[in-house]
A and B are shown apart, each in its own frame.
Chain A
Amino acid sequence: MGSRYLGRKLSQAALTIVAIVILNFLLFRAMPGSPERILLRNPHITQEQLEAVRARWGLDRPLIPDQLVDYIASTATGDLGYSLKFQGKPVVDVIADSLWPTVLLIGLGELVAITIGLSIGAYAGWKRGGVVDRVGSGISLILYSMPYFVIGMPLIIIFAAGLHWFPTSGMTSVGGRPTDPIGQLVDLGRHLVLPLVTVALGLIGSYSIIMRSAILETRSEDYMTTARAKGISDVRQLRSHALPNALLPMVTIIAINLGYVVAGAITAEIVFNWPGLGSLTVTALSARDYPVLQGVFLLLSVAVVLANLVADVVYGLLDPRVRS
């Protein structure tokens, strides 16, 4: 891959991230409600106390350039400020605590959905009009249109409240939790099953539908006709010719979706009380915890930009035409 191509993509990504940082700063300052009121939550406060708080938090200084410069400088050094909701804990720590539950849930969910979704899509596209196509495409369409809440709630009602197979919510048991590592792993696994199934079901639909149409497109290509004319077996036609070409557009879609892994599926996390970034976003929103919200938005934006960058690079590697 040419270094010019890579350099161009990297500088584009860097510029986008700088723009995001500035936008992130301005967006939260444009919101209604004054931060000092939120900090204090005390209607009895006097003017002097208000001014003291403003001075303490640097809110008495001009927004631009003073506060903006401070913000960019501290963001560059990884200091995202302190949370209002989480007892003054650094925002970076608050986000780090919520990051891995989301990566675990949504990451695994994506993995399962990609595997199953692409398989169903590929098979349905290849055997167009067959049983798998008719049933699979129908189910995929239904799942695609269903929000996580609609998928998750029946699962809780049937498998948690009804059959008592799995816990309704949370990531681990609280109180009386197993102390041995295997017991803890099983405990985590039991808590993970329903949210994971929900996330995977929610994602399978889109992957399956897109993969199906990608396979259908490749089927009419000249190289497929050539392959058939050469007498290559059905399976090899699919695996060696149709799949690699159909997967090309999927790279972008998967990369963008992986960017959203960081954001988490907010509704899925809410339904299952999963302590990830989605839940954190909702908590921070309802507590007007602007430093945490800023941090989450920044992380999400940067993740999407980076995922796109990776997609561009991988695409460039896979398809030489793109590099030109």
Chain B
Amino acid sequence: MRSPMRGRAGRALAALALVFAALLPGAAAPAAAADPVVLRVGTTQDLDSINPYATVEVVGFEAFALTYNLLTDFGENAEPIPGFADSWTREAHDVKFHIRTGMKWSDGQPATSADACFSWQLSLDAIKADTNVGLGYIDPNVKDAGVTKVDCPDPETMIVTTDDQSDRVFQTYVPILPKHIWSKETYKTMGDAKFTAPLVGTGPYTLAEWKTSQFARFVRNPNYWGPKGFEDEVVIQFFKTPDTMVQSLKSGELDYARDPNAQQLKALQSETNVKTVVGAANGWTQLAFNTYGTGTGKTIPGGGASTKALQDAAFRDALGYAVDHKTLIDRVLGGFGDPGDTIVPPVLGQWHVTPDKPRAFDIEKAKSLLDAAGYKLDSSGNRLDKEGKPISLRLVMPDSDENYPKAAAFIKEWYGQLGIKLSTTVYDSDTLTSLLLPPEGGDPKANLAKYDIELWGWSGNPDPNALLQIFRCDAIGGTSDSLYCNPEYDKLYDQQLKAPSADARHQLLAQMQNLIYDQAPYDILYYDANLAAYRTDKFAGWVNMPSNGTPFFSYGTLNYTVLTDATAAPSQPPAEASAAPGASGAAASPGASSAPADTTNTSSGSNTALIVIGVIVALAIVGGLILANRRRTGGTEEE
């Protein structure tokens, strides 16, 4: 008798082999010539909202900047370039912007100065009412630029009045929204306004589809006024783990990967057709000391720092000698980053200064400075504060960065050598934000600022003010996480806002940077690096923005409009090719352009071979089973 079990297994296996063969790439329908060219960008940061006033993430800013123009966009080095306005002139406190003639929204409606005035007025209304639009990340741009009034006398003119003459008015990250769609919204309601795809914009690509936590798809805006990139669509894909993102880049499913970790970046460096970028980030990672009471003498009953030593600049200065920034770069960041010092990152080269009196890593010096400042060791080796209590500090950090706990472990070791104990606790970002708030944060009972040191980071804007304002007295209860207050600093801040020239502002900023460095409410551990990798076999023309940054997720979206077809590159420079025919392939097209065609051919060839082998193996297995089954059937005939 024939075994039905084996027969079934054989048939199931054969069916499985057939399904498997049908799903292999060779069997899939070939891509039609009319298929859109898609630029695929991967990131592990999830898009939180497509409402520009309800996003706090970098990817959210990238998404709205693709769809909506800013009044002035950012050039290759973050300089203002034409955006919604194509030209501008300044007369004293008034900046007159000319809005593009004949510009249209992606839905065909005319785009005029009324749209720009509507969008800017939202922020001005919120500033007047001493509140924010939505989550409050857009209107501070307008406030910081000193804008007091906007006026649109005709469809092609917008006049912005400022109370200073700085260039910050050209760096305002305010998306120009279509008034004909959003006119019913006010500064109070815009944050909750429901933005649903497809969106209408004047940017190069408009959002067509958004699947939360999966992808956001942008299609080319047919009415876009600027240069057109090679890609017809841009897809930003959200990954839960960088490992999968990196594999997708290697397989060619992604064209760009944002923020692989240091090990992954190093591994990608040897990959063919992949270029890696280590861009300078406009931000830092810091230790913020809880200095609440400094400059104000205030205390928080039942809260605040565990020791008054943290209010003493000499104590904080001494701790600064005990942290080896170089080791943190090497051991925590895998070598990608720069040692931190002052509060304006080096990427803002025009404004950054190195400290006049830099601290170098020296544990012995830290010890002697602590002794000299009156913080002695007891017989058990514990460092005592001036009240005679052993100093034991509580370090808090968010769970958002895998490097934070590693850095904290080093700091614990170094502080330990000074006789200072350090306990570390990780919180989610929201809980930590609440924990850091002092009574000025709104709820005097709940906001107790019960921490000693916070390990976290900041990222800034093209103008340093966004980072500088963190140290103002009035930032306490808001963005301040060192709770530091120094009227002298506030005075310098106000002066630099109205500085008559860039040189004058630079001098004031240098004073501010040195003041904070010397007073040390912060120990800036490192200036982070933005890591990225992209493929060179599909798109060419990648440009870092700014030049020491990364192609995407920095300022503006210019780079999306300048990409070209990598496979077409070899035919582009005919002059060199005819001059030196023998060497033209390598010399004329840099690196990748001639390689991809070969790679693709080899890969599809090997795939076909593998498919054939796979099918043969599957058939052999099925055949073997049937044969074995027959033999076996003979053996069990007597049943």
Contacts and interface: CB of A to CB of B under 8 A. Distances in A.
Interface string B11-37: 010000001101111011101000110
A63 interface: no
A89 to B, nearest CB: 8
Contact of A287 (B5, B48, B132, B603): B48
B426 to A, nearest CB: 12
Interface in A283-324: 283, 286-288
Interface in A143-201: 153, 156-157, 160-161, 163-170, 174-176, 178, 180, 183, 186-187, 189-190, 193
A209 B93 CA distance: 80
A270 interface: yes
Contacts of B212: 85-87, 283
Given A153-B243, A193-B23, A270-B241, A43 B433 contact: yes
Interface stretch (A21-29, A220-228, A229-237): A229-237
B462 interface: no
Contact of A88 (B131, B194, B606): B194
B272 to A, nearest CB: 13
B30 to A, nearest CB: 11
A235 B22 CA distance: 35
A32 B433 CA distance: 12
Contacts, number: 159
A198 B12 CA distance: 19
A272 interface: yes
B244 A38 contact: no
Contacts of A273: 214, 237-240, 244
Interface string B53-87: 00010000000000000000000000000000000
B211 A44 contact: no
A151 to B, nearest CB: 14
Contact of A43 (B27, B217, B437, B639): B437
Interface string B232-257: 01010111110110011011110000
Contacts of B238: 273
A186 B28 CA distance: 7
Given A175-B233, A275-B214, A43 B23 contact: no
Contacts of B20: 193
B9 A119 contact: yes
Contacts of B387: none
Given A43-B437, A160-B247, A275-B214, A178 B478 contact: no
A171 to B, nearest CB: 8
A86 B233 CA distance: 24
Contacts of B22: 186, 189
Contacts of A38: 430
A161 B247 CA distance: 6
B507 interface: no
Nearest to B610: A163
A74 B561 CA distance: 49
A187 B238 CA distance: 19
A183 B27 CA distance: 10
B182 to A, nearest CB: 16
A280 B240 CA distance: 11
A271 interface: yes
A50 B447 CA distance: 13
B430 A169 contact: no
B603 A164 contact: yes
Contact of A235 (B433, B442, B479, B636): B636
A33 interface: yes
A11 interface: no
Interface string B193-208: 0111000000000000
B235 A164 contact: no
Given A88-B194, A164-B25, A175-B38, A44 B132 contact: yes
A305 B16 CA distance: 34
A58 B603 CA distance: 60
A87 to B, nearest CB: 7
Contacts of B493: none
A235 B28 contact: no
A239 interface: yes
B46 to A, nearest CB: 7
Given A160-B251, A164-B251, A45 B38 contact: no
B243 A46 contact: no
Contact of A37 (B56, B131, B434): B434
Among B48, B196, B243, chain A packs the most CB atoms within 10 A around the CB of B243
B235 A175 contact: yes
A188 B46 CA distance: 23
B431 interface: yes
Contacts of B196: 87
A52 to B, nearest CB: 11
A46 B430 contact: no
A174 B38 CA distance: 9
B442 A190 contact: no
Contact of A168 (B24, B136, B244, B446): B244
B610 A41 contact: no
Given A186-B23, A235-B5, A42 B636 contact: no
A233 B240 contact: no
B430 A279 contact: no
A228 to B, nearest CB: 13
Given A86-B212, A170-B237, A239 B5 contact: yes
B459 interface: no
A186 to B, nearest CB: 6
A17 B449 CA distance: 41
23 contacts: A42-B132, A42-B135, A46-B131, A47-B443, A87-B194, A88-B194, A153-B243, A160-B247, A164-B603, A167-B251, A168-B244, A169-B239, A170-B237, A174-B40, A174-B237, A175-B217, A183-B28, A186-B23, A189-B23, A190-B28, A235-B5, A273-B214, A273-B244
Given A174-B217, A236-B639, 16 more contacts: A33-B434, A44-B136, A46-B131, A50-B443, A115-B12, A163-B607, A168-B247, A168-B253, A175-B233, A186-B23, A190-B23, A273-B239, A275-B213, A279-B213, A288-B428, A288-B430
The 9 closest A-B pairs by CB, nearest first: A175-B38, A233-B639, A33-B431, A161-B250, A161-B251, A270-B240, A168-B248, A161-B247, A283-B213
